[in-house]
Structure 1
């Protein structure tokens, strides 16, 4: 009923509470909660009132203004800036004439953006949300250099890196003797 039938995961999770039909034109800003579907034209900014809001714009939908919604599924046209805190899905017929600010983007072949695409990561890093704050873990680059980490304290310092002391092995495998 709403389009091609292949609904995205995010669009399925929100109940469509606001519908702009194909022969409908709205002039002025629109603020909504929950889910919104646009088949017609909105001449004004579209703003979500909540964190779990979703907007879907069909192939025939047009928005002339900024769109500020956490989850956006776009297959129509937006003339204005697009702000998506969570996920932005640009389908094959999507056209954005403005800048795009996103956390996560999925872009199909055929979609176009005439403006800047600016990555705005989530406010909280995912590692801190899932596993707690663990700042003392060694990084893979440290392990590659041979640094060992136990509870955040390196067992071997880096003060000698770059210099070759007598009796040590250089990076090319040669052993220098003591004097």
Structure 2
């Protein structure tokens, strides 16, 4: 049991870097974090964080825990926790998130849905209705 916990912690510490002059076409799957300063076309799946640097560009599908975007993204983006868009970010496509942080200046031209929000709002409304009735 202890060794499983230690192995999981080591896997999360993995960092994958796609450099400025690197271009990848295809599918990538990892349990670690990604920093993308080059160009990726395809699918990225990770249980960690995806960072798209200022010179980075991703087109395709990304599924991750957290994401920080400074560069360009187009396609499907699914973030289980927090999506942070920096002022230089340019986003288009379909976005599914739990939390969103957008700096002034970011271009966010996407269809956006927030997970879990409807359930929380419905529960909040029913509680308020019970108190006032």
When the two structures are superposed, what TM-score results if normalisation uses the length of structure 1?
0.59
Residue 59 of structure 1 is aligned with which of 30, 54, 63? 54
Give the CA deviation at 1:139: 3.1
Match of 2:91 in 1: 96
Match of 2:17 in 1: 19
Matched, 1:119 2:114: yes
More helix by share: 2
Matched, 1:81 2:71: no
Q: More relative contact order in 1 or in 2 (CA 8 Å, sep 6+)? A: 2
When the two structures are superposed, what TM-score results if normalisation uses the length of structure 2?
0.77
Unaligned runs of 5+ residues in structure 2 are 1-11, 121-125
**Cα distance in 1 between the residues matched to 2:14 and 2:104:** 27
Q: Is the 8 A contact 2:37 2:54 kept in 1?
A: yes
Aligned Cα root-mean-square deviation (Å): 2.3
Structure with higher Rg: it is 1
Give the CA deviation at 1:15: 3.6
TM-superposition CA deviations, 1:78-110 (whole Å, max 9, x none): 111111111111111111120111111111111
Structure 1 consecutive aligned stretches of length 4 or more whose deviation exceeds 2 Å: 138-145
